[in-house]
Amino acid sequence: MQGHGQAGQQKDQEPARAPDERGRRTRWAAAGRQVYARAAMVAAMGARWSLGAWRAVVPALLPSACALCGSVQRDVVCAPCAADLLRPMRRCPVCALALGRRADCPACAAMPPAFDHACTLGDYASPQDKLVLSLKFGHALPLADWLAARLAAALPAAWAAQRLAPPDLLAPIPLAPQRLASRGFNQAWEIARPLARRLGLRADPVLLRRRRDTGSQRALDLAARQVNLRDAFRLTRPARLDGLHVALVDDVMTSGATLHEAALALKAHGAARVSVIVALRTP
Ligand SMILES: [Zn+2]
Ligand SMILES: [Zn+2]
């Protein structure tokens, strides 16, 4: 840690991050004064406000810190950070891997996936990985709605580019029951639910279930992941998905092995096409 040694030598000097911290405290104090000033103005008006009016005014009264850079503004993620995350990038249409200058996709060459199309907002890399980490481990649920809104804005063009009709059904990748119980929510469903609402599509939170807890796959290579996940998913109830286009929704695609297994389960029940919608994709 850069700041520790310096702090030991010169006690009066604050660590390197302090000016930024001071700036942040100043911004918060200024934002706080604005909140009280606006609240006082609203109270002084003495008008009877409808629920719609309150819905419009509350976001203006309550500033929010950008989940990525911490700047105080009115959205979950500030406009410059959002623009950075959503920078257009050439991606594999099947697995959404950023291709850079490569003509062919190395991921699809190594393991042709059972799904047909994938779309993502950006790479699962710093700093935007914080969006998913804060959602999952910090229970920052408004981030799920923000990610869903960005996906809802991007997906129609992505489907049109592939001449795909919108999916008939959205299905979140389920958590194992133990993990769902300890976390209290499934982040994939928290993204899929507002996404379906925004796109006017049907979503089924329990279409798929995990047959067993496959544990963390982080330490496993692709071949080991495939073995670990084999037959991991089942449909919750006997159903046919004949001819349907089903979209799997998840927070992150890493190797794609989980989504591949889920797509196999859907296709075994007749799904004609499986798309993948993920907030972020491991580069
Ligand atoms: Zn920001
Ligand atoms: Zn690919």
CATH classification at residue 96:
3.40.50
Query: Tens digits of per-residue pLDDT, 202-248?
Result: 999 999 998 866 666 666 677 666 666 677 899 988 778 999 999 99
With pLDDT > 90 as the criterion, what percentage of the chain qualifies?
A: 60
57 and 11 together in one domain = yes
Pair 175, 269 in one domain: yes
The letter for the amino acid at 78 is: C
The answer on 239 and 160 residing in a single domain is yes
Residue 119 alpha carbon to ligand 2 centre in Å: 11
pLDDT beyond 70 at 58:
no
**Any domain includes 68:** no
Residues 122-128 have a mean pLDDT of: 93
Residues 86 and 121: beta-carbon distance below 8 Å: yes
Residues 170 and 267 in one domain: yes
Q: 202: CA distance to ligand 2 center in Å? A: 27
CA–centroid distance, residue 34 to ligand 1 (Å): 20
pLDDT of residue 3: 37
> Looking at the predicted structure, is the pLDDT value of residue 61 above 60?
no
Residue 71 has pLDDT above 60, yes or no: yes
CA–CA gap between residue 158 and residue 185 (Å, rounded): 28
Read off the pLDDT of residues 246-278 as tens digits, 9 standing for 90 and up. 999 999 999 999 999 999 999 999 999 999 999
Residue 150 belongs to a domain? yes
Has residue 218 been placed in a domain? yes
Query: Ligand 1 centre and the CA of 113: distance in Å?
Result: 35
Q: Which ligand is nearest to the CA of 84?
A: 1
Lowest mean pLDDT among 84-93, 150-159, 240-249: 84-93
- pLDDT of the residue at 81: 93
Question: Cα–Cα distance between 246 and 50 in angstroms, integer?
Answer: 40
Measure 107 CA to ligand 2 centroid, in angstroms. 5
Alpha carbon distances (Å) from 105 to 28, 124, 154, 278: 46, 17, 22, 18
Query: How many domains, in total, are found in the chain?
Result: 2
Same domain, yes or no: 98 and 134: yes
Q: Which residues contact 242 (CB under 8 A, 6 or more apart)?
A: 270, 272
Ligand 2: centre distance to CA 246 (Å): 19
Containing H/E element for 82?
helix 79-85
Name the closest ligand to CA 83.
Answer: 1
**Residue at 184 is within a domain:** yes
Do the beta carbons of residue 120 and residue 131 sit within 8 Å? no
- 66 alpha carbon – ligand 1 mean position (Å): 5
* CB contact at 8 A, 107 and 94: no
Are both 95 and 229 inside the same structural domain? yes
77 in a structural domain? no
Same domain, 123 and 28: no
Residues 108 and 144 reside in one and the same domain: yes
How far does residue 244's CA lie from ligand 2's centre (Å)? 22
Residue 200 covered by a domain: yes
CA 68 to ligand 1 center in whole angstroms: 5
Same domain, 57 and 180: no
The reply to whether 190 and 259 lie within a common domain is yes
More confident residue, 174 or 17: 174
Q: How many residues does the chain have?
A: 283
- Does residue 230 fall inside a structural domain? yes
Domain assignment of residue 57, given as a range: 2-62
Question: Closest ligand to 109 CA?
Answer: 2
Mean pLDDT of 3-13: 38
b/e string for 91-109 if b means 16 or more Cβ within 10 A? bbbbbbbbbeeeeebebbe
The ligand placed nearest to the CA atom of residue 106 is: 2
Q: Does 69 fall in a domain?
A: no
Name the closest ligand to CA 78. Answer: 1
